Amino acid sequence: MNHPQSLRKISFNPIVDMQFKGLHWIEASAGTGKTFTLSSLMVRIFLNQYLPNQVIATTFTRKAAAELKNRIRLRLVETLRYFEGCQKLTDAEIQAKIAAETDPLLQKILTDYATRVDFARERLKLVLDQLDELFVGTLDSFSQKLLREFSFESGKIERADITDDAKSYTHQLIHDVLREWIQLQPQNVVNYLLLNQKLKSQDAYVPVVENTLNFASAQFQEVTAPELDLNQFEQLVDNFIQLDLSLIPTLSEYYSADGQYHSVIGKKWRTDSLMQRTLCDDLPAFIQALAEQRSYALFAPHFEKTLKNLTDLATKKVLNKCAEEVLNQFEQHVVIQSLKSFCEALSKLNMDLDLLDAYLKFYLSREVKKRLPQVLQQKSETTFAQQIRTLSEALQGEQGLRFAKFVQAHYPLILVDEFQDTNQDQDDMLARIWRDQKRYMQGCMIMVGDPKQAIYGFRGGDMLTYNKARADVLSKQGQEYSLRHNHRSVKALVEAIDALFQRQMDFGEEVFYSPVEVGVRPHPPLIDGQGENHQPLRWLQLNDKKQEPIQVAWKIRDLLNQGIEEKLYLAEKTGPKYLIENDIAILSKNHDGLDKVQYELERLGIRVNRPSKRSVFDHQVAKDVGAVLTAIMHPYDEGKIKRALLSRLLAFNLQQLIQLEAQADGLSQFIYDFDCIREMWLEKGFLTAWQYCLNLFQVWKNLVATQSRDNERTVVNLRHLTELLSQHSEQYQGAQKLYHWYLKQLQSPAEREWELERKLSNEAGVQLMTIHQSKGLEFKIVFLLGADKDFREMNKTLNFSTVDHVHPVTGKVEVQRVVAVNDKNLLQQGAIDQHNARAVAEQHRLWYVAMTRASHRVYAMLQDQDGKSNHGLAFWRGQAAQTFAHPGSTDEALLNEKPIKLQLRQQHEPLQLQALEFPTQRFYPRSKTSFSALAQHLTRKQAIDALAVNTEQMLSAADEIHVIEPVETVSNQPLSWIKRNFPMGTVAGTFLHEIFEHIDFKDQQDWPLEIRRRFKNDYPGLWLELCAKYEQEFQQQDEEQLIAWMSEWLQQVLTTPLHQDFQLNQLTEHEHLAEFPFYLSLSDHVLAIQRIHQLYAEYGIDMLDFNQANSARYLTGSIDLVYFDGQQYHIADYKSNFLGTDQAHYAGTEIRQSMSQASYWLQAGLYLVALHRYLTIQMQDYDIELHLGGASYLYLRGMNGQAEHGFYHWKPDAEFVLRLDAILGYFAEDKSSKIA
């Protein structure tokens, strides 16, 4: 275990021993089956007392979270099948099965539920049904979930979205703070900083600021700004310039070769007459430059050596052992004294500038840390790190205690994987909720990690956090567990590596190696000429470290040749699997080593596979997508249209574009198409419009129309970009915001995980990656570069140390992390030693990770020829007589020449691919349609897409068509003024619909009040327009007259005889339904539009063509009026269509012609079918012949209370309604259920 001195009992079988109360600490060494253990524990948790919505599981990355959730599901399904197989077993058979079971989980749960097999089976079914409610994600996403779910309880009600570009805020703040600071400094200070190269661009300060933000909860060591007295220094410079150079010859007794004291000066100064040249040549030249250039000369590169010599001459020992009088005479000489004063002042200035540089880094870090939350809040955005701190703040105080109780009650069990990578802010949050001193036994917290794999210190991970959390768990009677069986590697390799690490079990930072044993997972042996798994740990001692990439490449060629010769293979059960490139990985601490090896491998023709660090936004297809999006957003800009056409997505070349422009219609069709796509984007969302665009322009065919090695990459990247745009369309509401977000990504592609290019299907070869990238992965053969290379910390920005402090609440002495700006003038040696020890300990853990990646063989490349290295694997391997020796370890001989390239002896015949025919049937999502979507003449500017997805919310009068006759005619019976002048259009029609919806047909008393209220409250614009027309014609305002005319118009509509002299004013409230909505189910295949058209034609009704609705499975609509006349049920539809100014324009013939032009016959038929299905369900003895009436189309402007004017009543045969009903069909073929 991590602390072998602990006397607490440790369990090595958590799957069986764990009880889900209190705190549990699992240490899982590399390859010990951690995911298997966690998924097994989850099965026990769900069978015990918790359901998925009560459990939280977190891990370090989204990829690991997805894998864990999948493994949990598979384990649950496996367990369910296991219990289903036990249902019919007798008690004796179950006990025998328990005794024979080798799976620890199945053995445990079958023992626990031997008498309740049915309960366990049903419980597992329930859990699987609810498994989507289980949260498995990162701690960052969990904190986001808590703040959103419990915004009221946390007091953090303001919504903040996670920003995609947190670094840009940091960069901008550094820029702003740096400018502010510079403006506050005296100009001469700024000049000296610039000359001394201490004042840099904002990019130079980004690493130190970002590293500080990663350790926001640590104590940041204060740096005091130094006081620079530049006036005093300038005075010293002036004095130095006035030095009497004629006094220099008086020192000739020392520097002259024949001088009296020349023999006592140091050898350095005698060689090449260095003292003489420095005093007689360099010093005068420097003083002259200093007089002319002032401070510029102090930091000029060509005076750097002169200054060093002058400083050594004035401040260091120059003379060898000699008489004191001679020494004093030299040191007290005016020239030497002047030099000494000047050099000491210059040295102090340099030190002060160094301190000022350190202070500036401190100041920038402190200010950015302070201002960043404010900037993010202003933008309603946050970062994951800031979100964790926000959550930690919400958990403080009395309110925070109540919040923590609430969260724990809602999620009583949490499992935290990769706990060694948890930072202090995350652990503080977890501790306040699940490790509270008074409440930790009310729930369960399981912490899983391996301190030996804590290698992400640069991201904020800190072993101090891990050790403090472990101590906290043990102080609260937490149970410890350890997984000690290595299932990843073959036995010989496990034993060799275990013996190696046991030589130095203390890794540093209180991390100790835990001995492991061989697991039970079967591995096919690796067989070569020496036998099975022969000496899997191999060391290659290089004669020249520069030869490392060449030796690695040669060795890999040699191994591949052995595979080709069938001498090196894995003995699989299905037959030998000869070694190929994919079985080999090369790991390095840095990318430089990988670059060199990749170069040598490619020179030998060996394929390599290296994780992509290229952003998908950096590919040409991303720019082409941007061009198409620009054309969609600006469909009338011909320049942008042409750029989109020339993209690879639309695949026009320059000649085709010129030919297109020469045609009569030119770009008009594409302008129309892009405009339609834009409207669809605005109304239906991005994904619908984008998929329509890709299909319309046959983009996928265009991308692969010509053969190219880049085809698959282009297709994969376009799918990736489509996915990213779709995801972000949910976050950036509105087309403009999403469009500008995309353009921003094109301008500044980054290396965020979600935007890196994805692997291709043919990516194969020797895998090259850093040790950090390899964590969690497994390879058959691993090469380790620079296995004993000296460790040097590059680009150190911060120093990490610790300090003891007394906790203000508990009063206990605790160790706290201290972070300081890296400056040798500020740091004490003890703090520097602590930092170095921390860095070395992390290096030990890094090499542990590297050594535990292989399943069959490890090659370690050693560069130290002197046998003095104690770094890397040499820390354990030792040197000389202490060199590690083990039966499974050997020194591999170097190759003296490049192995020849062998070809496969037997070329396998290419497999015959049996390609299926391209399907002619399309799959669509089940969608809705309506009469307005089907009526051809109602197609508006926006496209009705191929999926027939149409806007559901339509205004009541959206289907009305007005006829404006330009030719004046003599009116025999003119319409009343209100009917002629009432405004036309959708708004006016909808107003009339709403009036008829709300008035009482029989009682006219409240009509004027309803008309006035609706005009004033809902349609003020319509009312103003009507009043303006009245005033224009009658030269006065009379609202009462207008209201009276409106009431009279309504009265005429309701008293017009319709069918068999029936009038609408005869209806009581319970005899009619206004605005009757319906959803009509359709058949589960393409709607037969042509058959509907043919049906109407058979009955003598001609209409324009209808739109297709391939995917429609439901037809929706709203009937203006459904009424019962005492015998039958009818429908009525109000139309405010303007057909003319005379009553004759609203006779039956004209109305029928209008209905044909507007396809109202289709509407009437669909509405009658809907009413027919409704009555079929609602009436017990429904008879279509007896109960179904007809459809009245009420052209309101023509209704004057007289028969035969302003309406048309159509009652089709029952056969027509039934045939139309059959064409529309039902979602289920069996209509016996009568589901409308």
Number of helices (H), then strands (E), belonging to the chain: the values are 49, 33
Backbone angles phi, psi at 1129, to 5 degrees: -100, 130
Residue type, 268: K
User: What does 572-593 look like in DSSP terms, one character per residue?
Assistant: ETTEEEE--GGGEEEEESSHHH
Burial of residue 1069 (number of CB atoms within 10 Å: 0-12, 13-18, 19+): exposed
Q: Tell me how crowded residue 570 is: count the other CB atoms within 10 A of its CB.
A: 19
CA 753 from chain centre, in angstroms, equals: 7
- CA neighbours closer than 13 Å in the CB half-sphere of residue 724: 24
User: What does 1051-1075 look like in DSSP terms, one character per residue?
Assistant: HHHHHS--STT--GGG--GGGEEEE
Q: Which of 959, 1133, 1142, 1221 is catalytic?
A: 1133
1133 is in an annotated binding site: yes
First to last CA, the chain: 68
Burial of residue 590 (number of CB atoms within 10 Å: 0-12, 13-18, 19+): middle
Q: How far is CA 431 from CA 74, 137, 435, 781, in A?
A: 31, 18, 4, 41
259 is in an annotated binding site: no
CA 1178 to CA 847: how far, in whole Å? 77
Question: What pairing do the DSSP bridges indicate for beta strands 485-486 and 135-138?
Answer: unpaired
- CA neighbours closer than 13 Å in the CB half-sphere of residue 252: 7
Q: Which of 101, 149, 895, 26 is nearest to 543 (CA)?
A: 895
Which tokens belong to 137? 């994600």
Please answer whether residues 761 and 577 qualify as being in contact, where contact means their C-beta atoms are separated by less than 8 angstroms: no
CA 412 to CA 428: how far, in whole Å? 17
798: which strand partners? 821
30 is in an annotated binding site: yes
Tell me which long-range contacts 243-248 makes (C-beta under 8 A, separation of at least 24). 243/287, 243/334, 243/335, 243/338, 244/334, 245/283, 245/284, 245/287, 247/333, 247/334, 247/335, 248/279, 248/280, 248/283, 248/284, 248/335
Please answer whether residues 600 and 551 qualify as being in contact, where contact means their C-beta atoms are separated by less than 8 angstroms: no
Q: How far is CA 326 from CA 253, 357, 898, in A?
A: 11, 42, 68
Which tokens belong to 547? 């030869």
Backbone angles phi, psi at 9, to 5 degrees: -70, 130
852 is in an annotated binding site: no
Decide if 1133 is catalytic.
Answer: yes
1120 is in an annotated binding site: yes
Q: Which residue has the tokens 């990829």?
A: 63
CA 684 to CA 949: how far, in whole Å? 8
CA 458 from chain centre, in angstroms, equals: 21
32 is in an annotated binding site: yes
Burial of residue 722 (number of CB atoms within 10 Å: 0-12, 13-18, 19+): middle
CA 1034 to CA 562: how far, in whole Å? 106
Q: What share of the chain is helix, strand, coil (3-state, %, to 5)?
A: 50, 15, 35
120 is in an annotated binding site: no
Q: How far is CA 1067 from CA 882, 1008, 1048, 1196, in A?
A: 108, 20, 18, 18
Residue type, 150: F
Q: Which of 884, 881, 874, 883 is nearest to 788 (CA)?
A: 874
28 is in an annotated binding site: yes
CA 469 to CA 431: how far, in whole Å? 8
Please answer whether residues 377 and 163 qualify as being in contact, where contact means their C-beta atoms are separated by less than 8 angstroms: no
| Active site (catalytic) residues | 1133
Q: Which residues are annotated as a binding site for ATP?
A: 28-35
Q: Which residues are annotated as a binding site?
A: 28-35, 993, 1120, 1133
Q: Which residues are annotated as a binding site for Mg(2+)?
A: 993, 1120, 1133
